[in-house]
Structure 1
């Protein structure tokens, strides 16, 4: 009669100096931004830190979840995304229907059903697999010490700027006006329809996984439990999904609109282009009142930029707590080329598609915007193409 052996307890990882630096940056940054800009802006920086910590500890990657399902038929990551979206619509739709949250006006992330959404999401999907991450994945892995993702992030920014140069041309192509499930069916009807779609997607992943593997994959047990697991990870992926939905709702309460990432990349790139002697203010994209004000102001007054800075710091904090902050500059040439190509596709695609996996997919669907569903279909098709291209660049 065999007897199962328990795994030996692993020593707790040593907290690394980057964790202390990141914690100090989050504390001082929150105070400084709160004093110079506004307390709400400081809170958004700290909220970004919480998002970065959750993304890192839960390893919540949209890119890897889609790649594993496409290549291997494993759907645990996709099902976690459906849990995240289901909780988000339950929170968002009633508030968006009323138009206010705690007395603050709120609005969803709505966008047209355009040619740019289809093409942009498709090339964004390819870029996810070439660059090795999505918008949120690029930020939290770069903050966690992945040097290759800094390359992806740089070219993500460059691609975003190129997207603003051509933005008016993409606007001239055929498009349908924005469609809101909340406005079309009401909060209850929109929730019911959305939950049915999430359940259908989850059921498809279960069917595919059981057909290919006979049983559903189970999450590996963690060597740490209790508070140690909370502080140092890894978290269950479903815990990450729930936390991201809740934190997106907090973003809606503080910022008046859902979480977004990539508009800040375009802003950073435009400011960099101006420093190099270009005149982005003459481009039509930067001539709308909101964009013109963002371009002429400090990045610390921009909600998305401040939250992105927080995500990087939060991920660095998580990596340091987990004892896994170990940057390496030894990047294979083909992988480096893939990071450049992927970053450009990610940046350009996100800008013409009105957002990324966060702004268009997560926040778009959570807002009841039909463009979020269109983005999902086109981006998934792009991921299928990207997975087929990966062997050219990766072993």
Structure 2
């Protein structure tokens, strides 16, 4: 019976994927026809299946004065590219592709990216997937001129752009002391039991690293640059990585002189915080606000699962839970569906935490007649959570999708108050 159910899931996933792949193949065929009609010679065509963050090279081809490279994916898939001549260093091109910001990088729009150049300008092309995963259809053509825009041929034209609005002058940057005081007060109002300040200093290029020994609990890190209005536009970005079975990555790349990173750990852990965009040689302050792990988070699945569940629940609840979950189950990589009983008029929160392995993104979905709720998280995230209310006693259906290597997870459910 188990083998039959596994085959049923596999076959349903296969047939569900076919329409999307078929549409993509149809678009690729239309592009080939448009290139041929434009007098260009098709030099290469291939399909690539790429995971998030992976970089792939489009092999060099010869023929014609000009080269056009057209890459298509599903509309909701995003990817980027860099181009260069044969003399450009490959490592420099890949570094520009992976950098937080680069003027050399091109971004896809509606799942399409068209690159063209003559005289060997785009002899080298590198692609990088920025979605969780996806299929890329690559078509390379040569001719005496570059290819015409193909977005209309496949119905991917973004249409005219609205004129840019006037955003006005930059907001005034308050003093570091004022920003520290506000962040401290906000954290304590949210339930932080302790707030510590750790100082660092930026290098001449605005980069820096601060290492923090974080005790078990949930931490809110405020990374603040000592900037003034005289420093011009200050955009501080920060990132932390928690190692242990699989890396948990938290980033803040907003446009502000401060960055905020939230993470939970099940035991004392050294956490490196990397920042960029600070004024050269400036003082940088990291405020570490500690929130104790909620009493209702189970600890019998290990530190990593406990931290993941706590982080997930914090996204849905301001405090708690204070009581143990009413339902728990575990699973491995792949997909699993389970049903739970519900009470009419009651609300629930479901949380998913990783115990081991390296998930390539996760998805938690719950269906209660007539509503549904879902959260999908990218690779590098160990948790997901949804909250929902039941209007009937028909129960709820929960589905977990957790692709990856050696993944093991725990799903917990807590009962909340009555719905209004």
**TM-score above 0.5, yes or no:** no
Normalised-by-shorter TM-score class? under 0.3
Largest Rg, 1 or 2: 2
Bigger strand fraction:
2
TM-score, structure 1 as length reference: 0.23
TM-score, structure 2 as length reference: 0.22
Bigger helix fraction:
1
